[in-house]
Amino acid sequence: MGKRNRARQTMSAPGSDYEDGEGSTLTLRGSLTIGSRREYSETLAGTDRPASTKEDAEQRAIELLFERLTVRWTIAGAPIERQNDLLARLRAATAAERAWVRGVLREHCAEHFPDVKVP
């Protein structure tokens, strides 16, 4: 194998699927970069925008984590895969859907990234 082919190989962790009781499936990445972890912790702490409230900081942190980890969200058989569409769908989600997503993020991070605490 030549240098060019070796340089193109990347390692990736397998994704995980989480299903709710209504047939929706959220697929999350199995890896999170150090830079993303640092940005998440700064956002959660509110140091990125010092004038923000704790609730605002938590909401932005959840959106950042969702954006970095979500590969696909299939709702009623229709997959959403583009990052802009995924974030727009999260923002338009019902309170129950948002609670489910937050629970999935908690579970996923507890299993794969114990240093990342989800509020």
Q: 54: domain range?
A: 23-112
pTM of the model: 0.85
Please give the single-letter amino acid code of residue 91: R
Q: Flag whether 34 is in a domain.
A: yes
Q: Flag whether 49 is in a domain.
A: yes
Q: Flag whether 18 is in a domain.
A: no
Q: Flag whether 70 is in a domain.
A: yes
75 in Cβ contact with 26 (< 8 Å)? no
Q: State the total domains in the chain.
A: 1
Q: For residues 69, 92, 81 and 111, what is the CA-based torsion angle, rounded to 10 degrees?
A: 20
Q: Flag whether 117 is in a domain.
A: no
User: What are the phi and psi torsion angles at 15 (to 5°)?
Assistant: -80, 165
Tens digits of pLDDT across the chain (119 residues): 555 555 445 556 788 999 998 889 999 999 999 999 999 999 998 887 776 788 899 999 999 999 999 999 999 999 999 999 999 999 999 999 999 999 999 999 999 999 999 98
